[in-house]
């Protein structure tokens, strides 16, 4: 007997962008609805889960937070694989982080190697809008960049003020779901859903799907 | 190293004669040669010029000169004993200052400085000492800037900021820099940070092998071992260990090197075994460790408090200085 209702859809969301643009703050704001001033730099990558209902479907978004510093990118790229959508974040008060959008997008396409890369769902996120002193990256310029780079969608946020954070992630998840519509696999087992992406080790594909063997501590 | 141990002259300068202890604000206690003094901006500037010239904050007591505390003094001695790293504090300061001057006009270094500043202010956020303008902040900035010039191929890598913070708590810039350089060069941290992180992968592998032997049941649980080891290795656990405890932590590391680190890691896993065994899958495990590494207890809380916070059933009285590392390291 097939139970159709309440099946969860699993979606992998990857957030990339320069160091210090506020990736961790955005994710934290979205997943725990709080803003913390004191995020430590992200070393390597980490992730959070958030369960949301979108268009009547329960979606488990596994949001990967990657390190912005170049040295850790060799690690970060192993998380790009299998992503359903990708948010590229820049700091509106830091123009160089805006100029690096190109690099981030290309790195993602190169290492994530998604199918149909021309239509892969990206969302460009201009964060730290609260720091408006007149010198922020202008919406017009950001929109222009998005138009020139495959008509990407753009949104301005502030993790600090909680401006449009929820909206940004909802958009991202919706985009991911649209893309996945055709071949969305609704996996029943939580383990197999999640483990397919938790793969940092370069050569442990076979280990990753292994369930921890429950044993008692001696 | 004898040249330093006999060099008590600098402080025998007689604090006792020059400072009227009763007038002193009790803001920050600094122990100098066994006597307690306080450091405060309200001091008479002539009387306290020496105290205020101290750029570190710990209360370990001062070493053989004003550049660092007693604990850091011992670290230099271990670096000398185990790796023949010699310290000549006056000369080292000069070289260090020259490097800082050079760094100012080096465009590649200045690029790293942006990243460094970006990270320093989010390294220890619950201590004024490390906030923008604080002395710890300045020390960290100087050490990491000089390092970006000193070792350009390696440069500044995130994780170093945590180690530097622990050093800056106990030393002034020059000593902190040379101790940091010793860690990088003599204690083989450099390989971890180099492009491709190959050194890190090897290190994670060896810790994993040790865990397989020492704590096989926990090891079997931890499929994504590399991911769990990344943050502790890159920050030498300094992201989790309180500034006060860093005295013992760094002491053990300078004394025993990676053997100690590996034992500490195994110990850390053992302390948290109950929590680990409760995890349903690798994602739960990763979340558990993320909570440890990013525990918001701040740098003030001790190692045992941080462990206890997550895992109330164990680690009631576990502190880094209570463990017999000699025995543990020998065993492994």
Q: Which residue of A has its CA nearest to B118?
A: A20
Q: Quick: pLDDT tens for B193-202.
A: 999 899 999 9
Alpha-carbon distance B178 to nearest alpha carbon in chain A (angstroms)? 23
Q: Quick: pLDDT tens for B250-290.
A: 999 999 999 999 999 998 898 888 889 998 888 888 888 88
Kindly give, in sequence order, each residue whose CB lies less than 8 Å from that of residue B238, ignoring residues fewer than 6 positions away.
Answer: B162, B163, B165, B166, B246, B249
CB-CB contact of B117 with B137 (8 Å): no
Q: Does A164 touch chain B (CB under 8 A)?
A: no
What part of A 66-125 touches B (C-beta under 8 Å)?
Answer: 67, 69, 71-72, 74-75
Say whether B286 and A204 touch across the interface (CB within 8 A).
Answer: no
**Phi and psi for B24 in degrees, rounded to 5?**
-85, 135
Structure confidence at residue B294 (pLDDT):
72
Say whether A191 and B123 touch across the interface (CB within 8 A).
Answer: no
Which residues in chain A have Cβ-Cβ distances shorter than 8 Å to B313?
none
Q: Which residue of A has its CA nearest to B217?
A: A215
Classify the complex by whether its ipTM is higher than 0.90, answering yes or no.
Answer: no
Structure confidence at residue B19 (pLDDT):
34
Q: Which two tokens stand for residue B12?
A: 């025998």
CB-CB contact of A185 with A176 (8 Å): no
Q: Which residue of B has its CA nearest to A48?
A: B287
Helix, coil or strand: residue B134: coil
Q: Which of B157, B161, B277 sits opposite A214 (nearest CB)?
A: B277
CB-CB contact of B159 with A71 (8 Å): no
Q: Which of A41, A71, A194 sits opposite B283 (nearest CB)?
A: A194
Structure confidence at residue B312 (pLDDT):
53
Q: Quick: pLDDT tens for A1-56.
A: 444 455 678 899 999 999 999 999 999 999 987 777 677 888 888 888 899 998 88
Say whether B294 and A210 touch across the interface (CB within 8 A).
Answer: no
Beta strand B35-38 with B29-32 is antiparallel
Say whether B195 and A215 touch across the interface (CB within 8 A).
Answer: no
Structure confidence at residue B316 (pLDDT):
52
Q: Does A206 touch chain B (CB under 8 A)?
A: no
Structure confidence at residue B66 (pLDDT):
85
Interatomic CA distance for residues A78 and B183, integer angstroms: 29
Mean pLDDT of chain B: 80
Q: Does A213 touch chain B (CB under 8 A)?
A: yes
Chains A and B form CB pairs within 8 A to the count of 117
Structure confidence at residue A217 (pLDDT):
43
Q: Which of A43, A195, A202 sits opposite B281 (nearest CB)?
A: A195
Q: Which two tokens stand for residue A139?
A: 């919406």
Q: Does the pLDDT of residue B158 top 60, yes or no? A: yes
Say whether A47 and B230 touch across the interface (CB within 8 A).
Answer: no
Q: Does the pLDDT of residue B329 top 70, yes or no? A: yes
**Phi and psi for B158 in degrees, rounded to 5?**
-55, 140
Query: Could you state, in order of their start, the residue ranges of all structural domains in chain B?
Result: 24-186, 193-330
Structure confidence at residue B3 (pLDDT):
28
CB-CB contact of A14 with A42 (8 Å): no
Say whether B281 and A47 touch across the interface (CB within 8 A).
Answer: no
Measured from the Cβ of residue B157, the count of other Cβ atoms closer than 10 Å reads 26
Q: Does the pLDDT of residue B308 top 80, yes or no? A: no
Q: Quick: pLDDT tens for B11-52.
A: 232 233 333 332 332 333 333 333 333 443 333 444 344 555
Check residues B54 and A61 and name the one with the higher pLDDT.
A61
Q: Does the pLDDT of residue B138 top 50, yes or no? A: yes
Alpha helices for A149-189 (secondary structure H): 165-180
Q: Does A40 touch chain B (CB under 8 A)?
A: yes
Q: Which of A48, A72, A217 sits opposite B217 (nearest CB)?
A: A217
What is the radius of gyration, based on Cα positions, of chain A? 18
Percent of chain B whose pLDDT exceeds 70: 77
Q: Quick: pLDDT tens for B218-248.
A: 999 898 888 899 999 999 999 888 888 899 9
Check residues B9 and B141 and name the one with the higher pLDDT.
B141
Structure confidence at residue B97 (pLDDT):
95
Q: Does A64 touch chain B (CB under 8 A)?
A: no
Check residues A45 and B158 and name the one with the higher pLDDT.
B158
Interatomic CA distance for residues B38 and B79, integer angstroms: 30
Given a cut of 70, the residues of chain A with pLDDT beneath it are 1-7, 37, 180-218
CB-CB contact of B325 with B312 (8 Å): no
Q: Is CATH 3.40.50.1820 the right assignment for the domain spanning B24-186?
A: no
Q: Which two tokens stand for residue B81?
A: 């004993």
Q: Does B5 touch chain A (CB under 8 A)?
A: no
Would the CA dihedral through B31, B325, B237, B160 be positive or negative? Answer: positive
Structure confidence at residue B306 (pLDDT):
63
Q: Does the pLDDT of residue B297 top 70, yes or no? A: no
Q: Does A43 touch chain B (CB under 8 A)?
A: yes
Structure confidence at residue B305 (pLDDT):
66
């Amino acid at each position: 007997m097939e139970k159709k209702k309440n099946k969860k859809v699993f979606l992998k969301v990857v957030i990339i962008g320069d160091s210090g643009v506020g990736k961790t703050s955005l994710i934290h704001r979205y997943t725990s609805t709080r803003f913390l001033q004191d995020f430590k730099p992200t070393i390597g990558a980490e992730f959070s889960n958030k369960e949301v209902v979108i268009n009547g479907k329960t979606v488990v978004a596994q949001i990967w937070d990657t390190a912005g510093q170049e040295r850790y990118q060799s690690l970060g790229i192993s998380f790009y694989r299998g992503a359903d959508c990708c948010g590229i974040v820049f700091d509106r008060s830091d123009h160089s982080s805006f100029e690096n959008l190109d690099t981030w997008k290309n790195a993602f396409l190169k290492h994530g190697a998604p199918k149909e890369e021309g239509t892969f769902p990206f969302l460009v996120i201009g964060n730290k809008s609260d720091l408006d002193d007149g010198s922020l990256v202008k919406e017009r310029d950001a929109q222009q960049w998005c138009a020139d780079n495959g008509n990407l969608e753009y949104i301005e946020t502030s993790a600090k003020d909680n401006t449009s954070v929820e909206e940004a992630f909802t958009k991202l998840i919706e985009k991911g779901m649209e893309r996945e519509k055709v071949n969305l696999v609704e996996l029943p087992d939580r383990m197999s859903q999640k483990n397919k992406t938790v793969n940092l080790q370069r050569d442990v594909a076979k280990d990753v799907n292994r369930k921890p063997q429950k044993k008692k501590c001696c | 190293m004898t040249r330093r141990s006999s060099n008590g002259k600098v402080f025998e300068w007689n604090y006792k004669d020059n400072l009227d202890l009763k007038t002193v604000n009790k803001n920050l206690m600094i122990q100098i040669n066994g006597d307690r003094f306080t450091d405060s901006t309200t001091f008479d500037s002539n009387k306290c010029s020496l105290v205020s010239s101290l750029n570190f904050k710990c209360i370990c007591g001062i070493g053989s000169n004003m550049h660092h505390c007693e604990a850091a003094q011992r670290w230099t001695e271990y670096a000398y004993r185990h790796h023949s790293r010699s310290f000549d504090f006056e000369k080292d300061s000069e070289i260090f200052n020259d490097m800082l001057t050079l760094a100012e006009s080096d465009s590649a270094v200045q690029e790293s400085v942006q990243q460094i500043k970006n990270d320093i202010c989010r390294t220890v956020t619950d201590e004024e000492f490390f906030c923008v303008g604080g002395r710890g902040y300045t020390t960290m900035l100087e050490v990491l800037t000089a390092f970006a010039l000193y070792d350009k191929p390696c440069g500044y890598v995130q994780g170093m900021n945590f180690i530097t913070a622990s050093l800056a708590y106990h030393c002034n810039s020059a000593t902190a820099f040379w101790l940091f350089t010793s860690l990088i060069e003599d204690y083989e941290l450099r390989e971890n940070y180099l492009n491709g992180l190959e050194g890190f992968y090897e290190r994670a592998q060896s810790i994993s092998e040790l865990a397989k032997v020492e704590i096989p049941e926990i090891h079997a649980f931890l499929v994504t071992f590399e991911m769990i080891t990344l943050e502790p290795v890159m920050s030498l656990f300094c992201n989790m260990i309180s500034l006060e405890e860093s005295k013992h932590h760094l002491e053990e590391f300078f004394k025993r090197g990676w053997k100690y680190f590996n034992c500490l890691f195994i110990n850390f896993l053992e302390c948290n075994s109950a929590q680990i065994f409760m995890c349903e899958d690798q994602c739960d495990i990763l979340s558990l460790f993320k909570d440890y590494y990013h525990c918001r207890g701040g740098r003030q809380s001790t190692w045992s408090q941080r462990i206890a916070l997550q895992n109330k059933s164990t680690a009631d009285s576990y502190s880094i200085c209570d463990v017999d590392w000699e025995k543990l390291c020998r065993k492994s």
